[in-house]
Chains A and B, each alone.
Chain A
């Protein structure tokens, strides 16, 4: 069975026990992203403190890959400056485009932490969108949050 390469135990753990799930206050931007080919949905809020991501809160429905991906992303981006978090998002995108090339995953392993477990998904073109949806939502919400607070997040 090839399945284990995609459904790593880490992914199933995030799916069963998602980190940071639920919509919380305060937030500067909320976005709703869907995957129109399959109906996966995520509503995601970003709360900035200066240009640092103080909180990402979310609700969504979808497959294990999409739901585990947002949970793993949560762990990766909290407490980090937006540009840095988005750069990690770019690296996750690179991983998703790697078509299962182990050398790509190896290079990104330290940076992507749990999210490296999604390497197997890159072999299944139909599922890549599921893994990327939350990162797209984060990029969108961060841009809006930054725009909404020209001086940067909350005032002290």
Chain B
């Protein structure tokens, strides 16, 4: 893998990009529209949600036009075909992360996948079935998160602790935007039931050293949940080497449709968990006195699933596989190095997060001295540059770095150097507009 390390002041270098940006852009219908009175759409908000290539939209449409039916019910031909397409998609998506199909549970999104695990762990405490009590969380137990987590990987654990009397602990951050693992051995201890950590920070861009955390979790017998919402779309992820018990991610951040996310779990662990949502599809036998449940993954998929979205997500996975996840990562790394260098050339701009591309993904958050991020975002938007502003659902992170909010640019397969040039130009325009432009760095 290429390491494009940028140094502030070294000048922004345009190394050849691994992906053919123009060809890829042609696959995304939305990128041909304009915004704000004819401006080219410079979409730098893939970290919030990604745009969709035509093949994903076609896959969804094709399902509805040719074999729409509720899978796993009914014996008619459409139901058979819908079930086959749904399960084939599960296998495709599983293979993308190195997992067998039976370990892939479809949820609404990452948030729901995390809630599923959190509720299963508290439901375990009161499960009437002995085999579902193995991972029960209760008083005296501890759950460990990090200060870097998206609210989706923080609030469900706070709530689990409130429901069960368990204690929430967390790993802090260093000044340069990395996890502070100096107290890993004490924070993760014999009382720890589960460690929940993001693989790639949605705000700082940091890629976390999961090996160290996984090793410590294994040592104390704690489960490890990895939030892959920002990693699975942007880098190769293989659950056979991840060292985790759970991996969660969202389809809509990886070129897929909204409304579908994934919970991967080691089968042995999934099989020992009670259900979260209950109802149709997930039952084995139902009597008025009580019910028994299907094995995973069906146990965790109550109701008619988001079939078309799952099929759309499989098409997204195929699109990414054709590009190659190694190249996707290298592409974004080159863009990140360039963006960090371009931003470093602008006086008054401060990047919140690692200053170079070492163990870093393509989320670049920054502040502009003298201009609130909302106002920065407004000027950028006026020029067609669409970024995210605010606390990025990671309020503790912005608090940790003493800023009220940040402006965040995120990159993807259709992002090119021209997009980053547009970003840098727009930031300078914001400085001019608000009268805070400073002299250039010499």
Which A residues contact B (CB, under 8 angstroms)? Answer: 1-3, 6-7, 12, 37-41, 61-65, 124, 127, 130
Number of A-B contacts (CB under 8 A): 46
Given contacts A7-B433, A38-B405, A65-B374, contact A2 B390 (CB under 8 A): no
**Residues B21-70 near A (CB distance < 8 A):** 36-37
Question: Measured between alpha carbons, how far is A127 from B33 in the docked complex, in Å?
Answer: 24
Contact B390 A37 (CB under 8 A): yes
Contact B390 A64 (CB under 8 A): no
Contact B378 A124 (CB under 8 A): yes
Contact B374 A2 (CB under 8 A): no
Q: How far is the CB of B366 from chain A (nearest CB, A)?
A: 16
Question: Measured between alpha carbons, how far is A82 from B398 in the docked complex, in Å?
Answer: 37
Contact B398 A3 (CB under 8 A): no
From A3, A12, A41, A63, contact of B374 by CB (8 A): A63
Contact B404 A39 (CB under 8 A): yes
Contact A38 B378 (CB under 8 A): no
Q: Which residues of A contact B378 (CB under 8 A)?
A: 3, 6-7, 124, 127
Interface size on B, residues (CB 8 A): 18
Q: Which residues of A contact B404 (CB under 8 A)?
A: 39-41, 61-62
Q: How far is the CB of A36 from chain B (nearest CB, A)?
A: 9
Contact A62 B372 (CB under 8 A): yes
Say whether B267 faces chain A, with CB atoms less than 8 Å apart: no
**Contact flags (1/0) for B357-385 with A, using CB distance below 8 Å?**
00000000000000011110011001000
Which B residues contact A (CB, under 8 angstroms)? Answer: 36-37, 372-375, 378-379, 382, 389-391, 395, 398, 404-405, 433-434
Contact A2 B37 (CB under 8 A): yes
Contact B372 A2 (CB under 8 A): no
Q: Which residues of B contact A124 (CB under 8 A)?
A: 378
* 29 A-B residue pairings within 8 Å (CB atoms): A2-B37, A2-B382, A3-B378, A3-B379, A3-B382, A3-B433, A6-B378, A7-B375, A7-B378, A12-B434, A37-B390, A38-B389, A39-B390, A39-B395, A39-B404, A39-B405, A40-B374, A40-B404, A61-B404, A62-B372, A62-B404, A63-B374, A63-B375, A64-B372, A64-B374, A64-B375, A127-B374, A127-B378, A130-B374
Question: Measured between alpha carbons, how far is A2 from B374 in the docked complex, in Å?
Answer: 16
Please name the residue on chain A nearest to B389 by beta carbon: A38
Question: Measured between alpha carbons, how far is A52 from B411 in the docked complex, in Å?
Answer: 53
Please name the residue on chain B nearest to A38 by beta carbon: B390
A-B contact sample (18 more), CB < 8 A, given A38-B390, A64-B374: A2-B36, A3-B378, A3-B382, A3-B433, A38-B389, A39-B390, A39-B391, A39-B395, A40-B374, A61-B404, A62-B404, A63-B373, A63-B375, A64-B375, A64-B434, A65-B374, A65-B375, A127-B374
Q: Which residues of A contact B36 (CB under 8 A)?
A: 2
Please name the residue on chain A nearest to B404 by beta carbon: A61
Q: Which residues of B contact A7 (CB under 8 A)?
A: 375, 378, 433
Question: Measured between alpha carbons, how far is A12 from B375 in the docked complex, in Å?
Answer: 11
Q: How far is the CB of A28 from chain B (nearest CB, A)?
A: 28
Please name the residue on chain B nearest to A67 by beta carbon: B372
Q: How far is the CB of A37 from chain B (nearest CB, A)?
A: 6
Q: Which residues of A contact B390 (CB under 8 A)?
A: 37-39
